[in-house]
Structures are given as structure tokens and as C-alpha cells.
């Protein structure tokens, strides 16, 4: 590694450790206290299969969520849809579009979650009134912009409109994501600050730092460290191997502390997945283990045109 790359790595690690004490203190004191928790689920099967260590990779449209600076890598327009087979009747999805215009890339995204319906009960009718109401409906709209600052460095930003509905009550507000991505083959370094907002909105503020390494042909290794305000620090790692640029095999590991669990126990997420690249269309699938809670599956479709 030459001196310039080594200097970038040292500066990156130094910056990470400056944020670390603040995150550790906040995480211990405020586990599970943020609103808009659906913003923490993650989107896209490719990233999920790699342990959601995507901050420094972010080379496709799902960079909107993980690191908007990665949108600067896009050469063509992209359209994507992701769907999570979640627990019970919970539905989570993500739809996005990005378009390169001269030296910038603009993007739009919709992140949504619905929790189905519940029967209405009252003191007079404990068995139910015959009416139903929606338990929760959450929505976030992303407006993204990304620009390459220099050959090896890009920046990006999301402005988000966030709306939550619980039964008959609704609340809305705005949030901001900021990202940087440094790329100097075979190494990428990424930094994302997610969900900046007004104190009253209590969004799930998170700092993500990551690296991606592509020294071996057709193979990528990724590592992320996440420092959320409302939880403990978590570590994410994964890998991807492409066979003839058609079939991708992926695996990852995600150490995460389940919020608001009765025993405050740690979950160790095993993640697996694959992708099929058909040039203009890519299909990805992922399996995630949530320990005692069960397993979930994620699917996503990405089109380039």
C-alpha cells in the first residue's frame, strides 16, 4: 500500500475513534428509544446477504440507503425494488430510481412498512366491535444527490420526508443523510451519517464506517462498524464471489443487539444469499437468521437502462 493510501486509512480510523466514545455512551443509555425504527431495517437483498456491510461498497442504486455518495458510481439510469418477507403480517419494501445528469446523480426512493390490521375492542365489547384498524403504517421519501469531488472521492446527501401512522395518530418530519466514499483500487472506505434531524423527532441517528477490499478477481470483502445513538455498537462483515459475472454467491455476519428485548440478549445474524446478473436486470435473494425470532427472506430486483 502506497503512502497516500496508508494516510487515508489512518485518517479514516482516527475519525472513527473520535466518534466511538460518544456512540458507546449514548448506546448504553438509550437502547430502543428512537422513533421511526423502520429506517433501521435495511434494504436490498445483496447488502443483506453480506451482513449489511455496504457503506464502502455502495456501487448500485441501493447506495441511496447505505451511502448516498455511492450513487456517483452510476453510469446508467437504475430502477430497483426490494421486498422483505418479515415476521407475522409485517410488510417492508423499498422502491428507488436514479438518473445521472452530467457530473451529478439524482435519486428518488420510497421506504415503507405496514403492520397489517387489528380488531377494535372496547370496554363494552371486549370481544371486538366488528371494526378493524391499521396497526402501523410508516413511510420515508428520499431525495438524493451525489457528486464526484475528485477522481477517488465522492459525496452524497439524502433529504428525507418521514411519516408514521399508529392507529389513528400520525406524525411527520424531515431527516438528513450525509455520505463520503473514497475509492482507490483495491480499497474503498466509506462513511455515512444517517437520520440527522430535530431533537424532538428523535430519529434513529447512526454513524456507519466501512471498508471494501477487491484485491482478488471477482471477489469482494466488506466490513462495517455501526455506531447508533439508541443501541450498542455493531459489527458487520461479508463477502461476494461472482462466477462468470452471471452468478454471485454471498455470505455475511451481523452482530446486533435486539432492541427492547425482555432479556436484552444479543442476536448473531447469519446471512446468506445469491444474485443472478442478466446484464440489464439483476435478481438478488438473501436469508437472514434472527435467532429465536426466526428467519426472514429478502428479494430485490435491479434494472439498468
Dihedral (CA of 50, 53, 58, 63) sign: positive
pLDDT greater at residue 26 or residue 142: 142
Burial zone of 243 (CB within 10 Å; 0-12 exposed, 13-18 middle, 19+ buried) = exposed
Rounded CA-CA distance 52/112 in Å is: 18
* CA–CA gap between residue 128 and residue 126 (Å, rounded): 5
184, 152 in Cβ contact below 8 A? yes
Chain position carrying cell 445483496:
46
pTM given for the model: 0.83
- Kindly report the CATH number that applies to the domain delimited by 3-304: 2.40.160.60
The alpha carbons of the chain give a radius of gyration, in whole angstroms, of 20
Mean predicted confidence (pLDDT) in 216-233: 92
Compute the C-alpha angle 13/38/154, nearest 5°. Answer: 40
Which residue would you say has higher pLDDT here, 167 or 76? Answer: 76
CA dist., res. 152 & res. 69, Å (int): 12
- Per-residue pLDDT of 94-151, as tens digits, reads 999 999 998 999 999 999 998 866 665 556 666 666 666 566 789 999 999 999 999 9
For residue 196 the three cell numbers come to 440527522
pLDDT score at 302: 98
Of residues 153, 154, 198, 191, the one with CA closest to residue 176: 198
- The lowest-confidence range among 37-41, 42-46, 235-239, 265-269 is 265-269
Q: What is the pLDDT of residue 279?
A: 85
pLDDT value at 264 more than 80: no
Domain-by-domain residue ranges, the chain?
Answer: 3-304
What pLDDT score does 15 carry? 57
253 CB-contact burial (10 Å; exposed 0-12 / middle 13-18 / buried 19+): middle
Angle, vertex CA 145, rays to CA 200 and CA 57, nearest 5: 95
Backbone angles phi, psi at 261, to 5 degrees: -75, 150
Percent of the chain with pLDDT over 70: 77
Q: pLDDT digits over 162-192, tens only?
A: 998 776 778 889 999 999 999 999 999 999 9
Per the DSSP assignment, residues forming a β-bridge with 163 are: 139, 172
The per-residue pLDDT for 88 is 73
Q: Which residues of 271-298 are buried (b: 16+ CB within 10 A; e: fewer)?
A: bbbbbebeeeebebbbbbebeeeeebeb
Query: Cell 471477489 belongs to which residue?
Result: 219
**CA neighbor of 47 nearest in space, from 285, 228, 227, 226:** 285
Whether 199 shows a pLDDT value over 70: the answer reads yes
Residues contacting residue 83 through CB under 8 Å, at least 6 positions apart: 91, 92, 93, 298, 299, 300
Tracing cell 469531488 back to the chain, one arrives at 149
Measured CA to CA, the distance from residue 162 to residue 197 in angstroms comes to: 11
- Name the pLDDT band for 226 (thresholds 50, 70, 90): very high
For 50, other C-beta atoms within 10 Å of its C-beta total 31
Rounded alpha-carbon distances, angstroms, from residue 298 to 11, 66, 155: 35, 16, 28
Q: How far is CA 235 from CA 114, 125, 187, 209, in A?
A: 28, 48, 19, 10
Highest mean pLDDT out of 18-32, 81-95, 142-156, 280-294: 142-156
* Residue 202's pLDDT band (cuts 50, 70, 90): confident
pLDDT confidence of 263, banded at 50, 70, 90? Answer: very low
Amino acid at each position: 500500500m502506497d503512502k497516500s493510501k496508508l494516510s487515508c486509512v489512518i485518517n479514516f480510523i482516527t475519525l472513527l475513534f473520535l466518534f466511538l466514545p460518544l456512540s458507546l455512551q449514548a448506546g448504553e443509555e438509550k437502547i430502543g428509544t428512537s422513533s421511526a425504527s423502520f429506517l433501521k431495517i435495511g434494504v436490498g437483498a445483496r447488502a443483506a446477504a453480506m451482513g449489511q456491510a455496504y457503506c464502502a461498497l455502495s456501487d448500485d442504486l441501493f447506495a441511496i440507503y447505505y451511502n448516498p455518495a455511492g450513487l456517483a458510481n452510476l453510469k446508467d439510469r437504475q430502477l430497483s425494488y426490494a421486498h422483505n418477507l418479515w415476521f407475522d403480517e409485517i410488510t417492508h419494501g423499498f422502491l428507488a430510481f436514479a438518473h445521472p445528469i452530467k457530473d451529478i446523480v439524482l435519486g428518488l426512493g420510497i421506504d415503507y412498512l405496514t403492520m397489517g390490521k387489528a380488531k377494535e375492542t372496547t370496554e363494552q365489547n371486549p370481544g371486538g366491535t366488528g371494526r378493524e384498524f391499521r396497526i402501523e403504517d410508516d413511510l420515508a421519501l428520499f431525495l438524493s444527490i451525489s457528486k464526484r469531488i475528485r477522481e477517488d472521492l465522492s459525496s452524497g446527501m439524502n433529504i428525507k420526508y418521514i411519516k408514521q401512522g399508529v392507529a389513528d395518530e400520525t406524525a411527520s418530519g424531515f431527516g438528513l443523510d450525509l455520505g463520503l466514499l473514497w475509492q482507490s483500487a483495491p480499497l474503498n472506505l466509506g462513511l455515512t451519517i444517517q437520520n440527522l434531524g430535530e431533537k424532538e423527532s428523535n430519529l434513529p441517528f447512526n454513524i456507519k464506517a466501512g471498508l471494501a477490499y477487491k484485491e482478488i478477481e471477482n471477489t469482494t470483502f466488506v466490513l462495517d462498524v455501526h455506531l447508533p445513538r439508541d443501541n450498542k455498537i455493531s459489527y458487520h462483515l461479508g463477502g461476494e464471489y461472482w462466477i462468470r459475472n452471471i452468478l454471485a454467491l454471498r455470505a455475511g455476519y451481523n452482530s446486533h443487539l435486539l432492541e427492547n428485548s425482555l432479556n436484552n440478549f444479543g442476536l448473531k445474524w447469519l446471512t446468506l444469499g445469491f444474485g443472478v446478473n442478466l446484464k440489464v436486470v439483476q435478481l438478488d435473494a438473501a436469508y437472514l437468521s434472527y435467532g429465536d425470532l426466526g428467519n426472514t427472506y429478502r428479494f430485490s430486483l435491479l434494472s439498468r437502462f
